[in-house]
Amino acid sequence: MNIFSQGIYNSEKEAYEKYCHYAHSTGFNVRKDHHHFWPNTRKIKSKDFMCFKAVFKKETEIGTKVKYQKSCTRTGCPAMIKFLVSQDGIWGVNKSIESHNHKLARPDDQYLLRSSWSISDENASILKSMSQAGIRTVDAFRYLSDEVGGVGNLGFTKWDAYNYIKKKKEETRLRLETQIHSSSCLKNGQLMITCCLGCAN
């Protein structure tokens, strides 16, 4: 019996993460595919998640120039799962295909599967704290990987760590700019009020 045949989930995020967890343990990547909405709404009615090697990539038109040609990795793999979503937002499995037409990742290589990468709240907090303390991202990443016995047990890559720290720094910069702008507007407003009161006197 398919492990998702009785699965019920409360959000797209929950359903997607559960399928990615299954995909990681099996040895394949996941990508999001078709979805449909309930009539006259933006509420999702159905959603498909597929093996990353599903369908075939469109061939480049003759005469079209490309800087480089990527190796073709899609095999038309049929593995997928379809969720139906109630108007209340409950996700249930409608269809699931488990068979693949390609080799699956070996257990030693499963940590390389991108769709299963994620930084836990605990690790995110440690990365952020170490960055604020002036510790380089590469050293923070090395510390975390050593703590769990290697990169393969960490659940994310060095580039995920870099991107996370970059995102947090950008959020901090934007927040400070907003605070400075708000403070400046407040001071200018107070100055205008003072000037107006002075003119009135």
186: left (phi over 0), alpha (psi -120 to 50) or beta: alpha
**Cα-atom radius of gyration of the chain, to the nearest Å?**
25
69: left (phi over 0), alpha (psi -120 to 50) or beta: beta
Domain ranges of the chain: 1-57+69-116, 119-201
Share of the chain above pLDDT 90, in %: 24
pLDDT the model gives residue 185: 66
pLDDT the model gives residue 192: 61
pLDDT the model gives residue 34: 87
20: left (phi over 0), alpha (psi -120 to 50) or beta: alpha
pLDDT the model gives residue 104: 82
Instruction: Determine if the pTM surpasses 0.95.
Output: no
pLDDT the model gives residue 193: 59
pLDDT the model gives residue 164: 87
φ, ψ for residue 175 (rounded to 5)?
-65, -40
Handedness of CA 134, 136, 142, 148 (dihedral sign): positive
DSSP three-state, residue 4: coil
In the predicted model, residues of the chain with pLDDT beneath 50 are 1, 60-62, 66, 68-71
DSSP for 22-58, written as a single string? HHHHHT--EEEEEEEE-TTSS-EEEEEEEETT-S-PP
pLDDT the model gives residue 149: 83
